[in-house]
Amino acid sequence: MPHPQPGRRIDCRSLGIWVLALSMAAVSVADLRAQSVCLPLPRLLTLVPAGAQKPGDGQGATTVEVTVSGELLDGWEAGGEAVAPQLIFSHPGITATPILSGEGKPEKDRFLVTIAADVPPGLHDARMMTALGVSSPRVFTIGTNPETLRTAANTTPAQAFPLAPGMVCNAQATAQAADHYRLELQKGQRVVIDCAARGIESKLRPVLILADATGADLVAERRGGLLDFTAPATATYLVKLHDLSFQGGPECFYRLLTHDLPVGAPLPERQAAVAPVLTFSWPPPGLPATPITEEIEGADPKAAQQVTLPLDLGGRFFPAADVDSFEFEATAGEVWWIEVASERIGAPTNPAIVVERRLPAGPDGTPGAFEDVAELADIPPPIKPSTNHYAYDGPPYEAGSADCLGRLEIKETGTHRLQIRDLFGGTRDEPQAIYRLVIRKARPDFALVCWPLHMELRNGDRAALSKPMALRGGGTVSLEVAAIRRDGFDGPIELAVTGLPEGVSATGLRIPAGATRGQILFTAADSPPRNLASVSITGRGTTDGEAIERPCRLAGQCWPIRDGWSEIPFPRLLADTTVSVGGSEASPVTLRTTGAGGTPSAPLEVVEGTTLQVPLEFVKRAEVQGATLQMRVIGPGFDQIPGFEFDVAAPKPLAIDLAKLKIPPGDHAFALVASAVTKYVPMTAGQATPPAPTDIAEILVSTPIHVRVTPAAKEATP
Amino acid sequence: MEPQRRDARHVETTGPGRPRQAVRFPAAGRCLAAILGMAIATLAGPACAASIVPPERAVSFTADVVPILTKAGCNMGSCHAKAGGGQNGFQLSLLGFQPDEDYDHLLKEARGRRVSTAAPEQSLLLLKATASVPHGGGQRIAPDSEAHRVLLRWIGEGAGLGPSDLPALDKLIVEPAGMTLAPGASQPLRAIARYADGSTRDVTALALYESNDRARAEVDGTGLVDIGSIPGTAAVMVRFQGQVTVATFTVPHGTSLTDLPSPRNFIDEHVFDRCRAVGVPLSPECDDATFLRRVSLDVTGSIPTAAEAEAFLADATPDKRERLVDRLLASPGYADWFANKWTALLKNRRDDTSDTVSNFAFHSWVRDSLLANKPYDRFVRELLAATGTIVENPPVAWYKRVKEPKDQIEDVAQLFLGVRIGCAQCHHHPFERWSQDDYHGLAAYFSQVGRRSTSTRGEDLIFHKRGVAVAVNPKTSAKVSPSALGTPEGPIPADEDPRLRLADWLVRPDNPFFARALVNRYWKHFLGRGLVEPEDDLRDTNPPTNPALLDALADHFRQSKFDLKALVRVIVLSRTYQTSAVPLEANAADLQHFSHFLPRRLPAEVLLDSIDAVTGSSTTFANLPAGTRAIALPDTSYNRSSPFLQVFGRPDGQSVCECERVQSSSLSQSLHLLSAADIKGKLSADGGRADRLSKDGSSDPEKIREVFLATFARLPTDAEMAQAVGVIAEPRTTPEGQPLPDPQARRENLEDLLWALLNAKEFLFNH
């Protein structure tokens, strides 16, 4: 998906004010009070309809009216005039203009969206630019089928909405009811019904039921799959659609597509779906789009398929309890890397591999038995995700996978057998349980993903929040970066950001050699202009003396989950990384070093092996709870510094013993992190009495602290 | 063998007098209660007068001493075999299943005071057992008894383990194994132990006896069976040193049958054969209205509508019952009703809000499986060997509810095999052949179930954990390989999910449990009583009342490839199922041979739905669509907010036993139906049946016809019609004595009529 307008600027003249009078704040206040663990952020939650048809060949742009809803999607004030929020998309070919009300004023939640002819079909991220900055995204589907919008209640057979094959129907599930659709089918006619829901970020867990005209169930599909039905008689049939537990409402939107297919034809492709976080590590660079060879299902399912290495093979875990065996010859001393993608290409599987070596034949000629050589299972998460216990004890993001990635060292020359099976597949006859098996010589590499830092170790906090990159003046936001290392790559990974909006700087805290975790800090100037840009985050490393650069995808939560016990966090990879500053509010606090010569970004220079004094400045724009903050350090090398208490009222310089940390000469960066509870006062909308302050716990990240360590002067030899 | 009257009783262990009555102890738990139910006698002289031990060999601790202690009740669960240290510091293994441990406890503990080879008579063992010193259990062995003499002799011989070359006990035989007896007859049993070398030994005096139906047959500690006055079939279990056998007694009703109807299928053949054998006649076939209501309730958990009843009664075609059954089996109501049954047994309960999605998913999977008529073996296989996450593979939810391997095997055994193996976790099963190794052999199939937590609280994903399946017998620390109730599995490769092997074994043609357990469970569902009772306790010592029928049903089920709808169809289309619930004088006492239909109260959910259907109202359940019926509730959480469901005994999904559903009647149920606010509200609901009928233009007889059809699926009799017409036309007054306007009076009269019909047994029972 192409990235949108890098460096685009939104005009604004009102900046850097913590408490700012703006219009339309009454709704905002009510929303804010629910947020006790994160400063208020704008979130785009629904688009109705959730997609549109792409222009046909030779056709110009198409337009569709879209209604949005969300949290804190207010506009701002410029030059004494109210400015409506803006709806923006990750593809520049999709644009939106507000629909004007009868008085000629823009409506804040209705837009006319124009889709240019060059917009590719698929999912594109929509966002709102608001007073507080850019919102969290919501996917918007560009499809090739005609679209319709269900407009009236259809919860009874009599109200059934007519479905036409090939038409996409946009709707939202009705709570405590089933939505009814009507299909007129001829005897023997086959329809396949596809409901896009989780794949387009809906909270709906769709249940599709094909019923007769009276509503009596005939076939049901409850796992989000396709409903495949061939009419036994010419008649009217009903499609009943509801949530698995009968939830409903605006957040349970869906797109229902009916295919008319000949009997025996293969199932159609599913509607486009967002990418789960774990897919960031697939495919490895340079891998062809399709496998070079395919698994051969022989008459004897236990017989091994003969292959040679290297191997790039596509296969299926089908039927249930399928075990695929491959035999190959290998020579002692060879080292191969094995990678399997199955879960990462959308199959509900848990692949596992065992490699065995055939032992010599017995004296009577009986074939030799096999002995284990290697066993490969899951790709471990580079950062341990939360266990969803009393409080989150890790990020609510899983970057590992049930797929396999590991090393195979051949100890003895001979015939080897690789068996691959699905640990979830004992009873599941699912043809879509596909896998791709790659056995290659080492090609050291890495893949990166990042996500907003989440609060940890706060008792009872199970909020998994969508956190758009909407910076406040003077604030620093950290992204946590996770790396999957391939084929023995163990060098450091430097993190960099390009395309930043004006007034925002970024610093990557390097992923050290062998490590899998790093950070990127985004810092807004104290009074930056309202602005946003789609940025590019990359990691750079060196392998075999050659520099490689890999993209780092941003992940986010689809919904602001405020209690992970009752609602399951649901993250995905975003189409792009949009960074903004809202300009309406400033960060409640800023922690920074005064830097060399009083310039915060200037590196502090220090000699190797000596003690570094870091002068700290704590800027309070709101009341902070407690006299001290429990501070920890992030950044390679410096993260060994034990946690310490930071005096809010009288910050003392931080003394760092470089000799103890064994910090080598060179340029380094680190930051300080704490949890802080501040008294937040929202924008007051010109009210005579400002709203009461709210206690909000937030992650406080210092501006990056740059250090230049110079080599110690060598003592002259006597 | 001819039955013998009590006064002509011949007991091989000759001697004057009657044996002493069995000692009774208070029950304490299921396993213990069962053990205590056995006839155990204080070992008195006359009953044990024959030589227990041949004089030519030394006394064996295992073969002679332990059986004496067992017969005397010393090693019962409530006495010295009590878990956690026995009684007063003296521990014995339950029923002597661990003689080596018992020997150590006797000889090596309590500073050797329990057995004194120097002064055998002063051994605490004897002094306590004979109550010569204070003993909490009283006198267990008479001082002059053969048992006492054997113990004394054993101690005198040095209290050793005894001969090491004694052959192993191979089989226990009871004579007679079965016979027909007249009411009031007595019959002594003879227990013969057969050993591996072919030798036999009369162990009548040492064996334990228990009747499975004390109303029909009592048995005392000597093996004397006393037949009661109720005709029917009863079995007496005999056990000795881990071996069990059973003697079956039939008490005929005494009617000579000449006019049994023609059998409609193999079920009738077996039932009629049995009726013929016991001399119990069949009640007539039920009428159409009764059949319609009965089969609708049993197949779909719903009463027929007035329109359905009217149409069925008017249908004159000869195959209308067959067509009705096919229609019911094809309806979603069938799936709803049986999903309701299975999800309760599979413990689909909600303990936390976070269970909601998984419970709905699991319920849906069960319901959809039934709707699609998924073969039962596949259904069980998908459940047993489930892997993945609940949303992607809902049967995984069973592993959320049943987390411990111990519970997994016990639930699987009881639910799908009809075997209650829980006792064998700690000791050899007292009534069965199951040992601890059998228990842990079954557990080994579940030893490679891997779990990993998911982002949903309390929910794991399930996967096959690579490794060789093995369990450990905690008693012996021995590794136990997978073994399916006596069928060793053989080696299972580390890469293979052992649960799939268990699923394979379930459906093997020679599996003696799987098909029988299901058909017996379904038989009870439709006929009100299992061929084996309880329906999930199939064992050699609890024989079916009609073994040939049970086998035939199981064969039919296997041959149909485990087709549940085919099973239901063959049952409900049998003449047996369609027999009237009205008993004849000659079969009124029969509860075992299905000579008449056994009426039963409507289950809680069905009753609530039926009241809604009759009154034209609906019950609202939290967060579910309006109109959701109680039989379609996805889990048990709705019980908490519904006094009705609680009072009428909807199960809470705590147990794998059908007995968790309370089907008995109670005062609170009667009061609820008579006066609860929700019932009143349904009767008087706006838009309800009474309201509608009071306003429509139909005549009073038409209204009454509809009410009777909706309630009883039949037309009113002339007398009922006349009485009901009078009720509807009755004038009413306000509490102040003012006459009510006619429309309102008629509405309230109709409410009264409905209320009266709802409280009739004809409505409350499936008959």
The answer to whether the Cβ–Cβ distance between B624 and A217 falls below 8 Å is no
What residue type is A126 in one-letter code? Answer: A
| CB spacing of A216 vs B332 below 8 angstroms | yes
Q: Lowest mean pLDDT of A89-103, B66-80, B644-658, name the range.
A: B66-80
What is the reported pLDDT for A715?
Answer: 67
Interchain contact B640–A (C-beta under 8 A):
no
pLDDT in tens, B356-412: 999 999 999 999 999 999 999 999 999 999 999 999 999 999 999 999 888 999 999
pLDDT given at position B33: 35
What per-residue confidence (pLDDT) applies to B20? 33
A73-115 per-position pLDDT tens digit: 999 888 888 889 999 999 999 999 999 988 888 988 999 999 9
Pairwise CA distance, residues B193 & B201, whole Å: 5
Computed over every residue of chain A, the mean pLDDT equals: 90
Read off the pLDDT of residues B686-733 as tens digits, 9 standing for 90 and up: 999 999 999 998 999 999 999 999 999 999 999 999 999 999 999 999
Token pair for residue B244? 């069990």
Chain B residues 489-518 with a CB less than 8 Å from chain A: 495, 497, 499-500, 503
Segment A616-627, tens digit of pLDDT:
999 999 999 999
pLDDT of residue B352: 87
Q: With CB atoms and an 8 Å threshold, state whether B361 touches A564.
A: no
What is the pLDDT at residue B168? Answer: 87
* Residue ranges covered by each domain of chain B: 30-156, 167-251, 375-484+493-506, 600-766
Rg (CA), chain A: 29
For residue B747, CA distances in Å to A248, B307, B692, B739 come to 38, 22, 8, 14
CA B381 to chain centroid: 23
Q: Give residue A538's Cα distance to chain centre.
A: 16
Over residues B507-546, the pLDDT tens digits come to 898 899 999 999 999 999 999 999 999 999 898 888 899 9
pLDDT at A552 over 50: yes
A108: enclosing H helix or E strand:
strand A106-115
A425 contacts in chain B (CB < 8 Å):
387
Shortest alpha-carbon distance between residue A259 and chain B (Å): 23
pLDDT at B8 over 80: no
Q: Determine which of A708-717, B158-167, B588-597 has the lowest per-residue pLDDT on average.
A: A708-717
Report whether pLDDT(A685) > 70. Answer: no
- Answer yes or no: is pLDDT of B419 > 60: yes
pLDDT at B4 over 70: no
| pLDDT band per the 50, 70, 90 thresholds, residue B232 | confident
Cβ of B752: how many Cβ atoms within 10 Å? Answer: 16
Q: At what angle do helices B498-506 and B376-384 cross, to 10 degrees?
A: 160
Least confident of B204-208, B267-271, B531-535, B574-578: B204-208
Q: Which residue has the higher pLDDT, A382 or B80?
A: A382
pTM: 0.87
- Identify all chain B residues contacting A568, using CB atoms and an 8 Å cutoff: 455-456
Judged by average pLDDT, the poorest of B39-53, B61-75, B375-389 is: B39-53
- Residue B759 CA neighbour count, 13 Å, CB half: 17
Closest chain A residue to B365, measured at CA: A222
Provide mean pLDDT across the span B428-432: 63
Write out the DSSP string of B685-713.
-TTSHHHHHHHSS--HHHHHHHHHHHHHS
pLDDT of residue B7: 34
pLDDT digits (tens, 9 = 90+) for A290-330: 999 999 987 787 789 999 999 999 999 999 999 999 999 99
Q: pLDDT of B89-135, one tens digit each?
A: 888 877 777 788 888 888 887 777 788 888 888 888 888 888 888 88
Q: What is the band of B45 on the pLDDT scale with cuts at 50, 70, 90?
A: very low
B381 in reach of chain A (CB within 8 A): yes
A536 touches A5 (CB < 8 A): no
Poorest-confidence range of A275-284, A415-424, B106-115, B448-457?
B106-115
Which region among A112-116, A474-478, B31-35, B148-152 has the lowest average model confidence (pLDDT)? Answer: B31-35
pLDDT of residue A718 exceeding 90, the answer is no
Q: Is the dihedral of CA A27, A29, A30, A34 positive or negative?
A: positive
* Residues from chain A contacting residue B465 (CB–CB below 8 Å): 423
Confidence of residue A457 (pLDDT cuts 50, 70, 90): low
More confident residue, A389 or A288: A288
Residue in chain A nearest B390 by alpha carbon? A223
pLDDT exceeds 70 at position B32 = no
- Cα(B336)–Cα(B350) distance, integer angstroms: 19
Residues paired with A28 in a beta bridge: none
pLDDT of residue A688: 62
Instruction: Kindly report which listed range (A325-334, B157-166, B420-429, B618-627) carries the lowest average pLDDT score.
Output: B420-429
Task: Give the whole-number percent of chain B exceeding pLDDT 90.
Answer: 58
Which residues in chain B have Cβ-Cβ distances shorter than 8 Å to A565? 353-354, 457
Read off the amino acid at residue A680.
Answer: Y
* Superfamily holding B167-251: Immunoglobulins (2.60.40.10)
Put simply, the answer to whether A176 touches B360 (Cβ < 8 Å) is: no
| Separation between Cα atoms, residue A264 and residue B65, nearest integer Å | 74
Residues 6+ apart with CB under 8 A from A703: A476, A521, A523, A590, A591, A592, A593, A600, A601, A671
Cα separation, A388 vs A462, whole angstroms? 7
Residue listed under structure tokens 């003879």:
B190
Rounded to the nearest angstrom, the minimum Cα separation between A631 and chain B is 29
Residue B251's pLDDT band, with cuts at 50, 70 and 90, is confident
pLDDT value of residue A348 = 92
Task: Please say if the pLDDT value at position B219 is more than 80.
Answer: yes
Which chain A residue lies closest to B335 (C-alpha atoms)?
A: A217
Strands A138-143 and A51-53: parallel
Which residue type, as a one-letter code, is found at position A253?
F
Question: Interface of chain A against chain B, CB under 8 Å?
Answer: 175-178, 205, 207, 216-217, 219-220, 222-223, 242, 244-247, 321, 323, 348, 350, 352, 354, 375, 385-388, 396, 398, 419, 421, 423-428, 564-566, 568-569
Residue type, A278: L
Residue B340 confidence (pLDDT) above 90: yes
Q: Do A427 and B385 touch (CB under 8 A)?
A: yes
Mind telling me how many Å the CA of B371 is from chain A's nearest CA?
A: 8
**Residues of B with Cβ-Cβ distance to A348 under 8 angstroms:** 388-389, 392-393
Residues of chain A in contact with residue B393, where contact means CB-CB under 8 angstroms, are: 223, 348, 424, 428
Residues of A in contact with B493 (CB under 8 A): none
Written as six digits, the tokens of B387 are: 């892997």
Residues of B in contact with A216 (CB under 8 A): 331-332
**β-sheet bridge partners, residue A130:** A133
Domains of chain A: 147-261 (2.60.120.380), 286-442 (2.60.120.380)
Determine, for residues A177 and B500 on separate chains, whether the beta-carbon distance falls below 8 Å: no
On the question of pLDDT at A372 being above 60, the answer is yes
Contact list, A176 vs chain B (CB under 8 Å): 623-626
The per-residue pLDDT for range A34-81, each reduced to its tens digit, is 448 899 999 999 999 999 999 988 888 999 999 999 999 999 888 888
**Could you read off the pLDDT of B537-585 as tens digits, one per residue?**
898 888 899 999 999 999 999 999 999 999 999 999 999 999 999 999 9
pLDDT value of residue B541: 81
The confidence score (pLDDT) of residue B67 equals 87
ipTM over 0.90? The verdict is no
